[in-house]
Amino acid sequence: MKTLRRFNARAAVVALLLTCAAPSVQGTSIIVASTTSTEQSGLFAHLLPAFEKASGIKVKVVAAGTGQALDIGRRGDADIVFVHDPMAEERFVADGSGVSRTAVMYNDFVLVGPGSDPARAAGADIVSSFKAIFSARTNFVSRGDKSGTHAAELRFWAQAGVDPLTTKAAWYRDTGSAMGAALNTAAAMNAYVLTDRATWLAFKNRRDLKILVEGDSRLFNQYGVILVNPKKHAHVKAQAGQSFIDWLVSADGQSTIASYKIGGAQLFFPHAKK
């Protein structure tokens, strides 16, 4: 009960700050460098109108893999980064590129592949599934773009004792693309691919692809948001950017995230620290 009261109190403060700050930031626009999953899943189309109505701040999204989004932030070409690779996010803050990381939401990764499952990869253990794919040398599509999903994939290969980047085998297709394009390639090749669940739920061209592995705790996929350091890049719109962060973790922001669904399925789950 105390936690709920604290959270509601914080939400009230955020609402007040947005209202009070409106004269100085209304009409301002900020740039958010974001992972592609938030864009391709349709979350931003659902989320941003509510924020813009509450704050008067316009948001332009530059969607890229997490690694590229962080690089955009390092160059000072964005005010906010919104990504999903906690270790890379911590390095971004540690090297002075960002102010601090704020947890916002989570979902999970899933392994999808052909319904016939030629590698017999289906199960509840993601590392065992990667071992099975390698043993069978069945087609696997990688984003290969230094995204959060790509980083997770490489962790699972490492845990399976495989380095696909050095094998350069025909079964491993490195696309260097966003999640939607990687899923299209996997559908065309009838191949396995690791994807975030949100993009999968929004993806229409599934053909014979099905979810084969889900529920492993290692598939947990958390998203964080970071204000680009204005001490490093003086042009960063720190006040407007912080208003966006504060709204995301407020009761209104978290409920707006939770309300986004496709076919009745919730795509993202609130994860703000209360």
Identify the pLDDT of residue 242.
98
Q: CATH no. for residue 28?
A: 3.40.190.10
Identify the pLDDT of residue 25.
67
Identify the pLDDT of residue 47.
97
Are residues 65 and 166 both part of a single domain? no
Are residues 203 and 154 both part of a single domain? yes
Q: How many domains does the chain have?
A: 2
Residue by residue, what is the 3-state secondary structure of 29-54? EEEEEECHHHHHCCHHHHHHHHHHHH
Residues 231 and 76 sit within 8 Å (Cβ to Cβ): no
Are residues 164 and 255 both part of a single domain? no
Are residues 157 and 189 both part of a single domain? yes
Residue pLDDT tens, the chain, 274 long = 444 444 444 444 444 444 444 456 667 999 999 999 999 899 999 999 999 999 999 999 999 999 999 999 999 999 999 999 999 999 999 999 999 999 999 999 999 999 999 999 999 999 999 999 999 999 999 999 999 999 999 999 999 999 988 876 889 999 999 999 999 999 999 999 999 999 999 998 999 999 999 999 999 999 999 999 999 999 999 999 999 999 999 999 999 999 999 999 999 999 987 6
The number of residues in the chain equals 274
Identify the pLDDT of residue 26.
65
Are residues 120 and 97 both part of a single domain? no
Question: Which residues touch 228 (CB under 8 Å, ≥6 apart)?
Answer: 73, 76, 78, 79, 80, 81, 97, 98, 99, 236, 241
Q: What is the pTM of this model?
A: 0.85
What is the distance of C-alpha 35 from the center of its chain?
Answer: 5
Cα torsion 7, 12, 16, 22 to 10°: value is 70
CA distance 47 to 248: 9
What kind and span of H or E run contains 73? helix 66-74
Are residues 44 and 64 both part of a single domain? yes
Residues 248 and 55 sit within 8 Å (Cβ to Cβ): no
Question: Which residues touch 244 (CB under 8 Å, ≥6 apart)?
Answer: 30, 32, 51, 55, 57, 59, 80, 225
Residue 27: give the domain boundaries.
2-107+222-270
Identify the pLDDT of residue 274.
60
Residues 151 and 166 sit within 8 Å (Cβ to Cβ): no
- Position 207: which residue type? R
Are residues 82 and 209 both part of a single domain? no
Are residues 91 and 136 both part of a single domain? no
CA distance 101 to 106: 14
Domain edge (last residue) among 198, 219, 240: 219
Are residues 43 and 8 both part of a single domain? yes
Name the phi and psi angles at 269, rounded to 5. Answer: -125, 130
Identify the pLDDT of residue 273.
77
Are residues 22 and 85 both part of a single domain? yes
CA distance 95 to 73: 12
Identify the pLDDT of residue 221.
97
Are residues 94 and 126 both part of a single domain? no
| Rounded to 5°, angle at Cα 150 from 146 and 151 | 80
Are residues 85 and 167 both part of a single domain? no
